[in-house]
Amino acid sequence: MVALPIDTAKFSGIICAVPPAPRVANRETGQLKVDRETGRTIFQVGLCLMAGTTAEVVNVNVVGEPTGVQNGVPVQVRDLVATPWENEGRHGIAFRAAEIKPLSAPPTGPASSGSSGKGAA
């Protein structure tokens, strides 16, 4: 199946709804799912994708643990793709991203680091 790119710039916001957790490949042994190319562990993050007056939570796989991504934290997602799948009569859409990281805090400028509003008159 072909992966379909998703333009994340169209969303009004993307927030972590479920923190990163390693994907389990074998529930009996506890073996973790790893990326075939890098050998690194695949993590799953629940993201709330907001657009206009709608929002949906989707589970997104990413290679390696995203640092600083926690519940309620606005995030940026690089190279998000959706891949339709079907297996033994079940079907769905799998989401994968190249990177998930917290949005940077706005830079602190001279105006915000200035006076406390108290001053000599």
pLDDT given for residue 110 in this prediction:
53
What percentage of the chain reaches a pLDDT higher than 70?
Answer: 84
**pTM to 2 decimal places:** 0.81
Residues 6+ apart with CB under 8 A from 47: 14, 15, 16, 17, 57, 58, 59, 60, 75, 77, 100
Task: Round the average pLDDT of the chain to a whole number and report it.
Answer: 88
Of 25-29, 78-82, 109-113, the range with the lowest mean pLDDT is 109-113
pLDDT at 118 over 70: no
- Which of 2.40.30.10, 3.50.50.60, 2.40.50.390, 3.30.70.920 is the CATH number of 4-102? 2.40.50.390
pLDDT digits (tens, 9 = 90+) for 87-96: 999 999 999 9
Task: Give me the mean pLDDT over the 84-111 stretch.
Answer: 82
pLDDT at 102 over 70: yes
pLDDT at 113 over 90: no
Distance, CA of 97 to CA of 58 (rounded, Å): 12
Cβ–Cβ under 8 Å, residues 11 and 51: yes
pLDDT at 55 over 90: yes
